[in-house]
Structure formats: structure tokens, C-alpha cells
Structure 1
Amino acid sequence: MTWLVTGGAGYIGAHVARALREAGLDPVVLDDLSSGHRAFVAPGTPFVEGSILDGELLLDTLSEHEVEGVIHVAGFKYAGVSVERPLHTYRQNVEGTRVLLAAMADRGVGRIVFSSSAAVYGNADVDLVVEDTPKNPTSPYGESKLIGEWLLRDQAVATGLAHTSLRYFNVVGSGFPDVYDTSPHNLFPLVFDALVAGRTPRINGTDYPTPDGTNVRDYIHVADLARAHVAAAAALAEGRALEPAYNLGSGDGVSVRQIMDAVARVTGIAFEPELGPRRAGDPARIVASGDRAARDLGWAMRHSLDDMVASAWAARVAAG
């Protein structure tokens, strides 16, 4: 069975595409390379360069490769930047998803796994986020992901589309030495770039009501995330009914201070992070339960914090 992975040349999408191959499901990658890298696509995997906004290209790709399901990872993923570029965010994430669903309906492709985001919850004022926690996104990015879930829901009513959405927070680590996080906004790349350049990483806010005063978040290994996407695709291919959405969460979270300590420990680069004031809008703690995904998708945190740091650092060093 062939699965189209949109955004499959990006950090997350490339891991998903490679995990599909390892599971015996044939991937085809579509990516416009706006943030992805052609080199991240494994040799032998069909690659189509183009945008999900190009309906004709999608129709041709679905037909040419006899696609039977889609894992939709493509999108504009920078929550902070989305506040400054809302129209661009909605075009890429909402209109892009609409165009994709229209092409799927035209070609009779009836299965989709949507790579959503825990940003749909916003600054949830609960100890543990569950799938039914109220949705209150605080950025155009989070709003666009929630709208994407609505589009899947409504298309399922109209056409019987089989679907599920996977919501997650911070993705780190590397499952392959030649695939790594190149985002200019994520914590791990920022910390690593600072160390490589001889600068001191920075912690924003040390007076939060958490055990060590720094933010607590869910950090999950990208290989575990990719495995969950493949499990969802396999379930849909088997005709199993899935929940509309699943959280891929750790259940307890990790603080920014713990991240910094692990980076120093694993890399062998001793440093004491600079301490700065809080950033506006940063909540103290956001952690999700992954119980529902564990029940239906075999979700598990298979990597320790040190595993996450070590694999990410090794890939960063290999990249030069």
C-alpha cells in the first residue's frame, strides 16, 4: 500500500516516511522544500517537488503512485511567527489542507492521518491535558491546526473519510544521523547552535511555579512520533475505527533547566545558562496524557531525555 507523506522532506516528515518503509508501507514524498531538504528523503523513495496548494499536482501524484492513504505533515509550523504572518499561515495550513482533501475525494483516497498540534489547546490551565480538554488556541498556527481537524471531521461526514489527528508538543532527537531539526525557532537547535558558536544558551524565565522555576513541557523523540503516525496509518488501512484525535504526550514533562543539564551532561560541554526574564504568553506547565494513544496506537516514550539529547547532538555534529 502506498502512502503519500506531505512535507516528507522535513525533519518530522522524513522520519515518518522512513518509518513507513521500515513497516513495509510504501511512501511517496511531496514537499515544496520551503523548510525541508531533498537530502532527507531516503534513497529509493519517490519524491515529488511541489506544494499542497497545487491541486493538479496532487491529483497527478495520487493517480501516478496509486496512493491509498495520506499522512499530512506539510504546513507552516512556527507558532510565534504565525502571529506576524497570519494570512500566510492560514493559506498554507487551512487552504492547503482543503486542496489536499479535495484532491483525495476526486481520486477516491479515503484515509488520512493528520499531523496536528497541541497548540490547539492554547495555555490550558490544567495539570494534564487530555483530548477533551477545551480548545483555546492562542496563535494563528494553533487555530489553523484546529480548523484542519474540523475539515477532516466534516469531510468524514460528507464522504466517509477515515481519519485521525495526532496532537503533540515539542519534538526532539533524531532517528537517523542524516536527518536533524533545522528549525531556527526550536529549543534544541537554538541551544546547539549557541554551543557550537561558543555562546551561552539562555533560559527565559526562572520564577515559574514549577519545581525548578523553569517552564515544563512535553518533549518527545521524533522516532517515537514517527512510529505513532505509522501505527495510525496501519490501523486505518486495516479498517479499524480510531478516535478523531490522540495526544502524544509524556504524562509528566521535562523542564527547560533539565534540558540544559542534560545537554551539558551528554555533550560534555560544561556551561551555566544565562538567565533571562519570562517571555510574554509562556505558560508555566503544559503536559499531555498519552493514555488514549497508548491504548489504540501502542504509543510509548521509548527514549530517555539523555537519548533525545544524544541523538540530536550526534546528528547536529554530523551535519557540521
Structure 2
Amino acid sequence: MKWVDALRAFVLGTGMLASALAHAGREEDIDQLMSRYQGQVPGASVLVIRDGQPVFRRSYGLAKLEDNVAATPSTNYRLASITKQFTAACILLLAEDGKLSLDDPVKRWLPSLPAAADAVTLRHLLSHTSGLIDYEEVMPEDLTGQLRDADVLRILEGENRGYFAPGSQYRYSNSGYALLALVVGRASGQDFASFLRQRIFQPLGMDDTVALEEGRSTVARRAYGYSEIDGRWTRTDQSPTSAVLGDGGIYSSLDDLAKWDAALYDERLLKQSSLNLAFSRATSTSETDVPFYGFGWRINSDSVWHSGESIGFRNVIVRYPKQRLSIIVLTNRNDPEPYKTALAITRHYLPGP
């Protein structure tokens, strides 16, 4: 009957219209959340992935103020500590290869470490339970130039002490992940940046993602970091620790990180047993808003996530695996921290309590 067909068309049309209006309203709300990144200021890039598809993908502001270069979804930001999930993945890949064990003493691979590290294992480093001294607290006062991962080892060779017995407590450790990058090199027979490229970035098609080594590699469509000082934006792109790779040296974009996110749902890169390890509660933490830590991931009751903060960059990736929802926010400025913004964006895509 024609009137039934007409009614169906009307219902379908109104449903599509309502969905379109809701989508437009959601986009406007996100734009409002990101309003301070808009204009001639250091910018941000935001991606929302639901069921494997980008449902919001937008950039704001500038990637490079001096040349008025706009940020785009293919702009590459320094990930800072979001790097740690990639470093952990390298260790898990080598464990799958039989090249190492997570319970190897770190001194099997880095024998020059002092006696205080005798009981430290790779598992301790992955979960921030090693108790090793934070290299940033004991850097040489007369340091010129930038530290690299090998320099972190040299610093720790002179620190025959720890904060606590390995495995007894949690303390977030950049030292541990710098050492893990060196272990990747020793166990694989190639340098850390090359292993990342050959075993993770290239297989996933993350063609513009790189662990930056000045003089050896470059960053395409690079965002530069800025800090607001006395009311003005000043470039603060590098610090003495910015060249340490294992704890924070990767540059990537929304588009490449979408490929990484997809690989965490299946076995195209890591076996399911390895993914389970990465996202399992390896240790409880002392952080009030993060009850557990896995291998390169903070773990809440319904999400896994990690932030990345360094001079001039603040980023976050938040994943809700059961809902197949991910929110990524990358920014090239010192403030504000984007985790709360990501949670506010999340509320537009997940049902309320």
C-alpha cells in the first residue's frame, strides 16, 4: 500500500534527520570544548574512533606559529609518554620471538648497572615497580646538549641505590622505559628506532611515525611545542631530555594512531596473550585517579589510557575496548592537560549511567 510506503519513508527520513542533527550538535559541543586551541595559537588534533571508524576527526590552531602552519589530522606531534605503550610492545614482540623473557633480570641485558639493580626484571621496568632512581633527578648539573637512552644508562651506573625493593611498590619511572629501549636494541641486534620502524610502524602502515633522532631522521608535517610565558607563546620544543627515545621520543599523528588503535583489537601485530599482558593489571598504583598500571597503559575500571607530557606538548589517548571507542587528543602546547577534555568528549559517545 502506498500510504505504508510513504509512512516508512517519513519515519526513515525523520530518523536520519534526527541523527544528523544530533551529530551536528555533538560536533559543535566538541568545537566549544576545543575553543581555546582555535585561531593563531598552538593547536590540537582530535580523533574519535567508534567501531573502527572515525566519527570525529578535526584539528585546531597552528602546528608552527612562526610560519602560520595550520594543524591537520596528519600533523605529527611528539607523543611524550604515550611512547611507552610502543616501547612495551617492542618488548612483548621480542618475548614472542623467544629473544627474551619478561622475567629476565635487566642486568642480563645491561650488566653495567650497579648491584642495586640485581633483582630488577624487565617486568618490573614495564610496570614501574623497579624502584630505580629517576634519571631526571640526578642529571649532571653541567650538562650541555641532550641526553640519549645510553646516557641514562651511564647516569644510573653511578646510582647504587633505589627508592624501594623491586616489586614492592609502584613509582612511575622514565628511567625504566629508557632502559627498556636499550634492551630492545641488545636483544634484537638493531637500534630501538629501527626496530620500531620495521616491526611496528611499517607493518601497520604508520608511514610518518618516527622515533626522532636528530641528524638521522626527520618528522614530516611536524608540530613544534610552545609554552605560554608572560602572556606570550614561546617555542619550547626541546629540553635536555627530549632525545631520550624509550620514555617519550616518538612523533605521530591522528591518522597513524588510528592504525595503531585498530591493531590493538586483533592479532595483526601482537598475539592475544601479549595484548592481555599489556592491558592486565600488573600493579596497583599510588595515583588516586589511576588505580592500576599494565605495560605502557594506565587502567581504570572501564578504560585503558595514557597521557604524554613534555615541554611544549600535552597529549592523551583513552580507549574503551568493550565499547570499541577511542578518543585521541594531541596538542603542541604546555597547557591545559587534555585528559579531562577527552573525558568530556567521551560523554558525547557513551551512554550515561
RCO comparison, higher one (Cα < 8 Å, 6+): 2
Normalising by structure 1, report the TM-score: 0.24
Normalising by structure 2, report the TM-score: 0.22
Larger Rg: 2
